[in-house]
Amino acid sequence: MAFRIDTVTAAANTSTGLQTFTGVLGGLVPTAYILTVTRGIIAGTEAIGGLMSQGFSDGTSNSCLSTYNENGVTTTDTGRACRADACIYILGDEVTTIEGIAVHSSFSNNTVTINWTDAPDAAYIVTCKMFAGVSAKVITWDSGAIVDTNVDVNGVGFQANFLYVLAPQREFSGNNSNAKYCTGVAIENNSTIIQGNISGVDDDAESTSSITGRIDNTIFVKQYTNTGGNRWTASWISFDSDGGIFQKHGTTAGDTEEITGLFLQFPTDEVNMLFKETPTSNGNQATTGMGFLPEHLMMFNCFDTAYVSDDATGLMASPSFAEIGTNYEFSNYWTSEDNVSTTRCRSAHYEKASYIRDDGGTLQIEGEYVSMDADGYTINYTTTDGTARKNFVIGFKDQGALPTGSSLVNGGIVKDSLINGRLIS
């Protein structure tokens, strides 16, 4: 049984109504997708304002998280917003300003359709990563008041081996001042749980001590206090037939603060995650250790030089989420500096495999896709700053040519088909 993945981009509709994203999935109907939006309107051109919005849907349930940092010196222009009834939410330059909301509409062969119920203010570039041939389920759960103890997450309905999460340090409804974000991943490969996240906070305060962020290779959720201190973290322990088990660490407070996750089921050991770093000089970097020939990559880049270490440079880790395939490479990037500058909050969409800027907006890392290899991949770094920046990369195994033949069922010839989200040949 083969799964299919594709990633496409399009300018967001600037009027309410339907918008369709069309991928190359061999005619399969998607079962889930992840959307990412920055303030970028033209690929490769930075926009003022540090916006990042991510969301996902399984066709029935949606969740999304948006964070925004304005290029201002006021104490009201950072914020976050999250919804459990939308697949994308674009937050404006005030915590109460909404620049766009979309909900899931429908799946069809090769396509995802969303419905803009609140039209975006501009034609922001939307990145849509769609999955077909895999079981998918979106679940949202409380972090709870129990620490360092196994807690069940139920309701998935199948044995997943991939989990993509968003955690806003609040319930998934409404807005908050203080820009906080956490995007995390947990996967199972070779009977081992591998997990990581990029997280950060920018307080509504004009100081350099209330903004920080980090990349982590030991947990899948990290939450900060408003002033940049540690609040709580979470580890994914295991997957099971109806979800899995996690542990919360740190404070028992925030028991109603929620985690939302997209659970996916890939064939055993056909998804893996590697923790790597950028090279210190220009040229090709060949990465091995994936365990198979990948067809698609998700690369999480940031400014940090160490795992599990809060950034001391007044940055929200400057994350960049990249989608890479044999025929595409997209990076969605944003940064927020110490909130006392009028020029250092920005975001953009780049057609690059890797893209990182520093707290002053200077380009540090730029890389382009070269090849998918037997045990990994190769990126050509055209810009480096002499410092190894940490990242982690998720690889999805190459599924070979799309099935075009037919199968015999009870003596009759039928086309390949999807049953419960899985490709049956």
Closest CA to 197 of 180, 214, 209: 214
pLDDT in tens, the chain (425 residues): 589 999 999 999 999 999 999 999 999 999 999 999 888 788 887 766 667 789 999 999 998 887 766 655 445 556 566 678 899 988 776 556 778 899 999 999 999 999 999 998 889 999 999 999 999 999 999 888 899 999 999 999 999 999 999 987 665 565 555 667 789 999 999 999 999 998 877 655 444 555 667 889 999 998 887 766 778 899 999 999 999 999 999 887 777 788 999 999 999 999 999 999 999 999 999 999 999 999 999 999 888 888 877 765 555 557 888 999 999 999 887 776 555 555 566 677 889 998 887 766 678 899 999 999 999 999 999 999 999 999 999 999 999 876 554 332 332 323 343 434 444 43
pLDDT recorded at residue 324: 95
pLDDT recorded at residue 39: 80
Q: Which amino acid is at 342?
A: T
- Check: pTM over 0.75? Answer yes or no: yes
CA dihedral 403, 162, 23, 121 (to 10 degrees): 170
Provide the residue ranges of all domains of the chain, joining segments of one domain with +. 4-424
- Write b or e for each residue in 391-422: b if 16 or more Cβ atoms lie within 10 A of its Cβ, otherwise e: bbbbbbbebeeebeeeeeeeeeeeebeeeebb
Residue 16 CB neighbour total at 10 angstroms: 14
* Separation between Cα atoms, residue 50 and residue 68, nearest integer Å: 5
Residues 6+ apart with CB under 8 A from 414: 406, 407
pLDDT recorded at residue 171: 58
pLDDT recorded at residue 123: 92
Closest CA to 99 of 130, 124, 79, 70: 124
Residues 6+ apart with CB under 8 A from 150: 237, 245, 246, 247
